[in-house]
Every structure is written in structure tokens, then in C-alpha cells.
Amino acid sequence: MTAAKIMLGCDLVPKICMSLILTVGGILAHYLGVQHALWQLIGIILLGPVWLTMVLVLHYRHNGSYIALLTKIDYCFRWAMIAALIASSIYAYSTGHLVENSWIIIKLLGFACLIFCGLMIRVNLKPFSLGYAKILQNTQDDADNLNMLRSLNKVKPWVITIWLLLIFEAYVGIAKPYVG
């Protein structure tokens, strides 16, 4: 049980990073000379703290009456972020808005892929969560352990993909390749 608690605690760090990355990236892009309308800049600045608050509430307030609803909101929010990132990347490319910093489009699309991988982890981790709940109640059996193992095996490719995408994203941020 201690190992599972440690695993869930370690899971918080990437969620915190993900919730803040667009705000940090948007501000850095602003200082690189990427122009945003005032409403976009305000949205970029507010996105991080709002998303972070949702992540922290979901992590620490397991028994709140609003958690089921907030979990659905978070799930839909992440799909909306994927759609928004793809749409804004297509718009930026087709209008030439990021012609001087076209590598940012790659980073935005990469981040959309990271969010997608996170959603696939969430979907495939459900049997693990059910088994973990049974461990907490001391009612698990061998079938639960097998389901938890299968769940972790389904999640593994998504986790590896995230790490590969993070390495690629770091490369793009350093190399800043032109995409034309």
C-alpha cells in the first residue's frame, strides 16, 4: 500500500508541470516577440493557475461531493485543450502568424500529443484504480492483482511515448528548427 501511495504522489509532479507549461511557454514566446492579443495573453497567464488549481483539488480532495463533476470537467477540459492546440497550430501555420518562430507550432502539437497520452493513461488506468481501492479496503484478491498488472501493462506504452515526446520537445526548444 505504501508503494501505491508513493506512486500516486509521484504522479502529481508531471500533472503540475503539464498544467503550467502552456502559461510558461506562452510568456516565453511573448518575450521572444510572438505577439498575442491582450485577451489571449490574459488567457495564457490565467490558464496555468486555473488548471493547477483543478489538478491540486483533484489530487488532495478525494472525498468532496464535487469531485465526480470536477473529474468530468477536467477530462473534457483536456480534450478541449487538445482541440484548441491543434486548431491554433493550423491557424498559425496557415496565416503565417508564427513564420519567424515556426518551431513553436511543433511544440504546441507535441503538447497536444502529451495531453492525449495522459488521457490514454487515465482511461487505461481505471482497472488499477479499482484494484487500489480494494487494497485500501483490504478486499483485493488475485483477480484484482491481475487486473492491476494488466492495467499497468496497457499504460506502459503511453508512458514511454510521453518520455520520447518530452525528449523531442526539448530538442525542438533548443534547436528551434524552421518549419516552412
pLDDT band at 142 (very low <50, low <70, confident <90, very high): confident
pLDDT tens, residue by residue, 37-91: 999 999 999 999 999 999 999 999 888 899 999 999 999 999 999 999 999 999 9
CA distances from 174 to 21, 62, 148 (A): 16, 39, 39
User: Amino acid identity, residue 73?
Assistant: I
- Is the distance from CB of 18 to CB of 149 less than 8 angstroms? no
pLDDT tens, residue by residue, 104-140: 999 999 999 999 999 999 999 988 888 888 887 888 8
Tell me the percentage of the chain whose pLDDT exceeds 70. 96
Averaged pLDDT, 164-169: 97
pLDDT of 28 reads 94
CA distance 42 to 40: 5
CA distance 14 to 91: 28
Helix (H, G, I), strand (E, B) or coil at 140: coil
CA distance 108 to 105: 5
| pTM for this entry | 0.89
